[in-house]
Homo-oligomer: A and B are copies of this chain.
Amino acid sequence: EIVLAIVELLSGKKPLAGKRVLITAGGTVERLDPVRYITNDSSGKMGFALAEAARDQGADVTLVCARTDGPPPAGVRIVKAESAEEMRAAVLARLPEADAVVKAAAVADYRPSVRHGSKMKKGPDRLTLELERTPDILQAIGDWKREAEASGAARSPLPFVVGFAAETDDVERNALDKLARKRCDLIVANDVSREGAGFGADTNIVSVYGAEGLIEALPLQSKRAVAERLWKLVRERAGWEEPGR
């Protein structure tokens, strides 16, 4: 497979040429007031690697970026989206034109119910912060696909959707549950509690699930190598190329 990849590279073959892919990256920022926020350890590196790999394979790449550790890659279209709500809007607006969507961003599940207009002052020893659920973007994509199919108005095929699941417990069960509930095409699960996997690292250890269950478990490798493998799976499963080459 490595040999084939090198052959493709040398021959200038672009297996994603003509494909429009939408990738999300980074950790969303949910503000309490003008200076404080809730976020997570996502560095954006997995999404950046996916964008670079797709770009190098000839895709037209749009990268929706929340907070990331470094600057995004060159040669891709950048859309800034700080919060889950902004990311939802950015993704849904671009969904109708996408051939594939890969949701590598770590989107907050909860946000403060109230955002204060000025910096909150120190007050009592304890306080409670009211949180509310953020929009579930993967669910919204699933709902959009279902409606598009029902109305018959959408182009065919609908975008191929890849979700990520960052878990510390019950990785497989949670990934399969997410896949079923949100009707996406692939779920990439990583156990962020494992050394060398997930947030901030340059490497990852992931398991890829489809509707039929575990497709493959990728051992520790660079995020770029994980990205190459994921695009290969997307191309096969989306019917863009024959499997097993």
Q: Give A contacts to B, CB under 8 Å.
A: 32, 34-42, 106, 108-110, 113, 118-120, 122, 125-133, 166-169, 192-193, 199
Contacts and interface: CB of A to CB of B under 8 A. Distances in A.
A133 B122 contact: yes
A166 B35 contact: yes
B130 A34 contact: no
Contacts of A113: 126
Given A36-B108, A37-B40, 6 more contacts: A35-B40, A119-B167, A119-B168, A125-B133, A128-B129, A129-B131
B35 A36 contact: no
A225 to B, nearest CB: 23
B35 A38 contact: no
A122 B167 CA distance: 12
A36 B34 contact: no
A206 to B, nearest CB: 16
A130 B119 contact: no
A134 to B, nearest CB: 10
